[in-house]
A and B are shown apart, each in its own frame.
Chain A
Amino acid sequence: MLVALVVGGLGGVVFMTFLIDVDRFTSSNEFCTSCHSMTYADESYRRSTHFSSSSGVRASCGDCHVSEGVFAATWDHVLGTKDLLEQFFGPDYDDPAVNLLHLPEAAFAARQWLKDRDSATCKRCHELDAIQGKRANTAAIHCEETDGKSCIDCDYNLVHRHVPDQKTFKRDAWNRMVEKELGLEPGSAERILAGDYYESTRRRRSDSPSPFMGEGRGEGTIRGEATFHRRAWLASPHDR
């Protein structure tokens, strides 16, 4: 009986430690960006104040996108395996065109996720003092204008590439923007979205090395070369 208790207790401790470690590892920037598809999100993140803030605090991927607490975090990661399966068997998110064309839905889902949790992960860092800041008017806004609102209702498009709200999002305009930015033929966005990956691969081969290098301007422009290897992260782990 005692032995069973000790073994069970120790086992529990080991298991919890394991869970905590797994959660910590799978919430880290290094883990998240080990998929090439995530490096696009990483790029805009690195230009945001959540990466370099005046206070010196840096929010990691998991700080915002994974719930607090070991069980909740574990559950989020269990649900997150859906993304992993998508990465392997879904559209080729490593391809910048595919990635950018699917970005709006990803943004809408992330916003909804935050909204469903009443922006809980925001509040891990943004306690009342931090929200109110030093400017009197900013403090007043967060006292007087926030009834019934959650952080994400007002403060979105802070970290990643600008995506309009779902209510005003225009798929057609977005597709044309992606085509223009990445040098794709007009109309190819719809074909890529419909699953014609050959379309994007062919375009990339013909226009290599990188038709989108230096295209566009300002925040969130996708730059750099995409890796075609679906399993690049397995073959050569990212150095970030």
Chain B
Amino acid sequence: MCSTCENRGILGRLLATTVLALLCAGVQAAKVELDPSNWGDEAGKDCVSCHTKSSPGLAQQWLDSAHATAGVNCLDCHRAEASEPDAMEHEGQIIATIVSPKDCGRCHTKEFREQQGSVHAEAHAIIADREPALADNLTGSAMRAAGCDQCHGSVVEVKGDGTLDPDTWPNSGIGRINPDGSKGSCSSCHGRHKFSKAQSREPAACDRCHSGPDSPDKEIFEASKHGMLYAAQRTHMSLDAPIWVAGRDYTAAPTCVSCHMGAAGKLPATHDVGLRDAWSLNTPVSERQYLVVLDDGRKLELPASAEVPKRGSEIRKADGTLAKVKTVATPERRRQAMSLVCLECHSKTFTSSSMTQFDDVVELYNEKFGRPARDIMAELYRRGLLTPTPFDEPIEFTYWELWHDEGARARHGAAMASANHAFWEGMYLVGRNFYSRFLPEVLAVAGPEAQDILGRHVMSKPEHQWLRDPNRPNPILGFGAAQGGADD
């Protein structure tokens, strides 16, 4: 009986594998352009035999993966040339622990191309010069590995004895700088060793980093109508589908991936996660931004206030070298791309009006709080009223939280339609901070110079005129003329 069961099991599995392989064939034709003769390294089969015993969890994840089904084994991804900095001998093979985006890109060429130069791949590079203020001064260097680098990625250091420096590895931060020079970590979102499509399409793939006080996208999504529908209808999302086009393969709800990366109608999927972002939202003042794609595959975000480079012209990159401009995507183009996703479920008017509501919040934040606060801080530094070292004066924390935490929450809340985050967790706190902490601290820091500074940056603006009239009661606090029952 046992053997019958087993036979049926094997047959069933074989059938399932064949069906899956047939289904995948279409995907692979689209996704992996290489001939299958490029994988299935014979020597790699020995890895499996030992690892099912030495690390059965890891081996089972791989056995359950599409990689295993397609015949991609351990050595196909982990093999290395002896000359590579992190190469090591392991049971007779030369391998590397780290499988970098460049390694994945041997087969997943399109994804690698899109991912390199994306805001995800550059997540470490973007903050590298700012990191010391928080990681070395405010906290301590242990927090790089345990905190910052977990999301932003580490600069992986291979020690002279071939081992990976524990200060920089393990790490699966999305902007990791790998020993081979490539940037990023595919396993940041695609959990190893199953690399399940369904898993990476879940919001949880993003939550590890996009949660918490400064970027509560997890919380915002969960509190939004999109999140509500997703929670209720998750089983109808076809999360396992080989191809996942919004409006065609699923309609129940969107996840993070749907809007920021996923295919929708005629809009192709992309591994450049910031491609559809018309605004910069994690800056002291938001800017509409151009996406400049360079001929070497790198990308640059340029604020709309900067001069837009022409196609074919030369432009200086962040590292100082020059590159030719291949294409420029305007903020409007990027907004259009994002809107194409919306249009799979919403009307044009609904979509554009929702975008208007979002834009209005960003502009409100910019004009009323972000820009004045930034200009005031700049003036305090210029006048020598603050030391250049960040976070050695209380107002620097106040300003930091105003834009980096509360301001970001308000803007993200509006972008993804969570009323709570746009208002109570966001703009309400921005306002409270601005009026009850920031301005009093400016007064304290600037002393006799405060009146001039505040006069120009705050009191001259129509948004703050209400401060000039202290005699307008309102029942909000339980006092005031309109509230009959309250005592005053």
Contacts and interface: CB of A to CB of B under 8 A. Distances in A.
B160 A168 contact: no
A163 B159 CA distance: 11
B53 A164 contact: no
B422 interface: no
Contact of B53 (A137, A180, A218): A137
Interface stretch (B83-91, B183-191, B211-219, B275-283): B83-91
A165 B88 contact: yes
A153 interface: yes
Given A137-B54, A165-B89, A177 B159 contact: yes
A69 B334 CA distance: 79
B484 interface: no
Contact of A167 (B54, B82, B163): B82
A165 B82 CA distance: 10
Interface of A: 137-138, 140-141, 144-145, 153-154, 161-165, 167-170, 173-178, 180, 217-218
Contacts of A218: 166
A144 B54 CA distance: 12
B49 A164 contact: no
A186 B171 CA distance: 29
B49 A177 contact: no
Nearest to B92: A153
B162 interface: yes
Contacts of B377: none
Given A176-B160, A178-B160, A170 B85 contact: yes
Contact of B161 (A138, A140, A141, A163): A163
Contacts of A167: 82, 89, 94
A188 to B, nearest CB: 14
A164 B161 contact: yes
Given A167-B82, A168-B87, A173 B53 contact: no
A170 B162 contact: yes
Contacts of B50: 141, 145
Contacts of B132: none
Contacts of A138: 53-54
A170 B49 CA distance: 30
A141 B51 CA distance: 9
Interface in B367-409: none
Contacts of B161: 161-164, 174, 177
Contacts of B46: 145
B88 A168 contact: yes
Contacts of B158: 173
Interface string B188-216: 00000000000000000000000000000
Nearest to A156: B89
Interface of B: 46, 49-50, 53-54, 56, 82, 85, 87-89, 91-92, 94, 158-163, 166
Contacts of B166: 217-218
B91 A164 contact: no
A191 B46 CA distance: 43
B163 to A, nearest CB: 6
Contacts of A177: 159-161
B88 A164 contact: yes
Contacts of A145: 46, 49-50, 53
Which 4 interchain pairs have the tightest Cβ spacing? A177-B160, A165-B89, A164-B162, A137-B53
Contact of B160 (A140, A153, A174): A174
Contacts, number: 58
Contacts of A180: 160
A31 to B, nearest CB: 28
Contacts of A163: 161
Contact of A175 (B49, B160, B162): B160
Contacts of B88: 164-165, 168
Contacts of B159: 173, 177
Contacts of B49: 144-145
Nearest to B49: A145
Contacts of A153: 91-92
B57 to A, nearest CB: 11
A34 to B, nearest CB: 27
Contact of A141 (B53, B89, B163): B53
Contact of B89 (A161, A168, A170, A176): A168
B89 A154 contact: no
A175 B46 CA distance: 34
A177 B164 CA distance: 12
Contact of A137 (B56, B85, B91, B94): B56
Which of B53, B56, B89, B161 is most buried by chain A, counting CB atoms within 10 A of its CB?
Answer: B161
A215 to B, nearest CB: 13
Contacts of B91: 153-154
Contacts of A140: 53
A161 B159 CA distance: 13
A154 B87 CA distance: 16
Which of A140, A164, A168 is most buried by chain B, counting CB atoms within 10 A of its CB?
Answer: A168
Nearest to A216: B159
19 contacts: A137-B53, A137-B56, A140-B53, A141-B50, A141-B53, A145-B46, A145-B49, A153-B91, A153-B92, A162-B162, A167-B89, A168-B88, A168-B162, A169-B162, A170-B160, A170-B162, A174-B161, A176-B160, A218-B166
A163 B89 CA distance: 11
Contacts of B163: 162
Contacts of B94: 167-168
Given A145-B53, A164-B89, 20 more contacts: A137-B54, A137-B56, A138-B54, A141-B54, A145-B46, A145-B50, A161-B161, A162-B161, A162-B163, A164-B88, A165-B89, A167-B82, A168-B82, A169-B162, A170-B85, A173-B85, A173-B160, A173-B162, A174-B161, A217-B166
Contacts of B85: 170, 173
Nearest to A166: B89
Contacts of B89: 164-165, 167-168
